[in-house]
Amino acid sequence: MLWELLISVMSLFSVVLSLISCIICLQRKLPMPVIIAIYSGYTVMLLVINFFTDYITTLPIPPGWAYVPLVIILFKGHVLHKIFILFSQIFISLAIILFFSMLYGFFFPYGSNEIFFFMLVTVILVFTVYIILMFKFGKQLLKKFFEGGSKSEWTLYMISTLAAHTAIFILWRVHEQGNSLHLFALIFILWSFVILCYAIINTHEKTKRKYEAGFAYKIISTGREYYQKMNEQFDALRIMKHDYKFHLKIAQEMLKKGNLEESGNYLNGLNEQLEQKEMPNFCSNAVINSLICDYARKCNELNIEFNVSMDIPPDFTVPNYEMCIVIGNLLENAVEACKKIEPVKDRNRIIKLVLKPKGEQLTLMVRNTFNGEVVLDGEKFASTKKENGGIGLESVTAVVDRFGEMLKIDHDHEFFSVFVLWK
């Protein structure tokens, strides 16, 4: 009787742990008290069904499956992420309980008052510490998990977690008291799960660093090209200034002879040469201007209409590198979207960039035509570019979280728009 009570208490801890983990790590669709009430009522319903039918606990499947629909309905985010969290937490709770059960099984017989007391105290202490750590570090840790990864990768992660969860469930059913082999099997399963979690975070971190390093190199290269073009422009202007007196003398001679048309053509040609030497000046910030010039060149080559309206205040404190991450990623996505549109008369390729102060804030808008197809990762917009797996959008969000106040994405059947509000 005592052993059955202990199992019920430990099962309740597993349910509570999975609920707390979901509340901490996922965005809620409903207020927390409502979610807790629904979760509690759902659990009571399952217990009542199991009490009268003994159906739920006798199913030959690992525990936790009954809560999958509830987690999907009550929380926001990608379904694979939500299932991963649910079964990871249930796996951890079962592993903790089973580990101490096996450990104490070497000293006390199952069902005795001694093992009941030690297990109850240990489970309460360990789970209390675990919940405190989840509140303090859980959200930050899960953010690292969800920073990257394609659907196929997360499907593999979820299957691996389910495999570990199933292995724990089988070991729970077949383990024998005082069996060292079973204890080593449990430790091996736990170690495999730790390696899996480390591999997920490490892979996402490396992918993110690789992408951001590549983007930083791109910004530096673009800036180098810009300054090189500026030097070439200054050299050309210096030469033209040196030759200016000769051009002026030739034009004066033509006017003296009455050759007005020939003189006009000569001056027009000289003016065209000057314009060709000039680099577009979209804003006073040399680094950001170089980035915009690069995308203006791309749009010109791809027959994309590129409209820019920029006014960056001189006292704007966001670092150039951070600004370039946001603007560069948004323009890159806009160019990729426009490239998918066939340039026909009723379907133009257009990108509009607006960056202007509004009161004490700075507003950024990137608006572009697209083919009407939107890719969602859960409830968030995702990049369709396979090479970065959506890391670009994650980088934009990270910069806005540090320096901005709002990131909003909107679209209709023709235009896709991104709005950023800076402090």
Q: What's the CATH code of the domain at 345?
A: 3.30.565.10
- In the chain, the number of structural domains is 2
Give the residue, 159 or 223, on which the prediction is more confident: 159
Same domain, 168 and 285: no
User: Residue 292 and residue 331: Cα distance in Å, rounded?
Assistant: 9
Query: Which pLDDT score, from 0 to 100, does residue 9 have?
Result: 60
Query: Which pLDDT score, from 0 to 100, does residue 329 have?
Result: 83
Burial letters for 172-185: b for 16+ Cβ neighbours within 10 Å, e otherwise?
beebeeeeeebbeb
Over residues 187-197, mean pLDDT:
90
Query: Which pLDDT score, from 0 to 100, does residue 352 have?
Result: 93
Does the residue 250 lie in any domain? no
Q: Which residue has the tokens 């959008």?
A: 393
Interval 326-348: pLDDT, tens: 888 888 888 888 888 876 554 57
List C-alpha distances in Å: 206 to 3, 80, 148, 212, 388. Answer: 47, 21, 10, 10, 11
User: Residue 49 and residue 65: Cα distance in Å, rounded?
Assistant: 15
Residue 322, classified by CB atoms within 10 Å of its CB into exposed (0-12), middle (13-18) or buried (19+), is: middle
Whether the predicted pLDDT of 69 surpasses 90:
no
Same domain, 167 and 286: no
Whether the predicted pLDDT of 419 surpasses 70:
yes
Give the residue, 72 or 390, on which the prediction is more confident: 72
Q: What percent of the chain has pLDDT over 70?
A: 72
Q: Which residue has the tokens 């089988």?
A: 170
Residues 98/126, Cβ–Cβ less than 8 Å: no
Query: Which residue(s) pair with 133 in the sheet?
Result: none
Interval 352-386: pLDDT, tens: 999 888 877 888 899 998 877 766 544 455 555 54
Query: Which pLDDT score, from 0 to 100, does residue 388 have?
Result: 45
Q: Of 155, 178, 201, which residue constitutes the final position of a domain? A: 178
Same domain, 307 and 165: no
Same domain, 285 and 157: no
| HEC per residue, 113-129 | HHHHHHHHHHHHHHHHH
Query: Which residue(s) pair with 202 in the sheet?
Result: none
Q: How many CB atoms within 10 Å of residue 280?
A: 10
Does the residue 49 lie in any domain? yes
Residues 94/11, Cβ–Cβ less than 8 Å: no
Same domain, 166 and 49: yes
Whether the predicted pLDDT of 125 surpasses 70:
yes
Q: Tokens for 370, please give them.
A: 């697209």
Same domain, 37 and 171: yes
Domain span at residue 348 reads 281-423
Does the residue 172 lie in any domain? yes
Does the residue 241 lie in any domain? no
Over residues 97-107, mean pLDDT:
85
Q: What SS3 state is found at 45?
A: helix
> How does residue 188 score in pLDDT terms, banded at 50, 70 and 90?
very high
User: Residue 157 and residue 199: Cα distance in Å, rounded?
Assistant: 10
Amino acid at 95: A
User: Residue 361 and residue 375: Cα distance in Å, rounded?
Assistant: 30
Residues in the chain, overall count: 423
**Cβ contacts of residue 352 below 8 Å, gap of 6+?**
307, 308, 309, 365, 366, 367, 368
Same domain, 415 and 290: yes
Whether the predicted pLDDT of 124 surpasses 60:
yes
Whether the predicted pLDDT of 3 surpasses 50:
yes
Q: Of 178, 211, 235, which residue constitutes the final position of a domain? A: 178
Q: Which residue has the tokens 């570990």?
A: 164
Amino acid at 129: V
Does the residue 266 lie in any domain? no
Query: Which pLDDT score, from 0 to 100, does residue 234 have?
Result: 64
Does the residue 79 lie in any domain? yes
Does the residue 304 lie in any domain? yes
Query: Which pLDDT score, from 0 to 100, does residue 236 have?
Result: 65
Task: Let me know how many helices (H) and strands (E) the chain has, helices first.
Answer: 12, 7
Query: Which pLDDT score, from 0 to 100, does residue 63 have?
Result: 65
Q: Of 134, 163, 178, which residue constitutes the final position of a domain? A: 178
HSE-CB at 183 with a 13 A cutoff on CA atoms is 12
pTM, two decimals, is: 0.59
> How does residue 8 score in pLDDT terms, banded at 50, 70 and 90?
low
DSSP per position, 368-408: EE--S---EETTEE----TTTTTHHHHHHHHHHHHHEEEEE
Name the average pLDDT for the chain: 76
Does the residue 261 lie in any domain? no
Whether the predicted pLDDT of 322 surpasses 70:
yes
Strands 305-310 and 350-358: parallel
Same domain, 156 and 24: yes
Whether the predicted pLDDT of 132 surpasses 50:
yes
Interval 21-57: pLDDT, tens: 777 777 778 888 888 888 878 877 777 776 666 555 5
Same domain, 12 and 145: yes
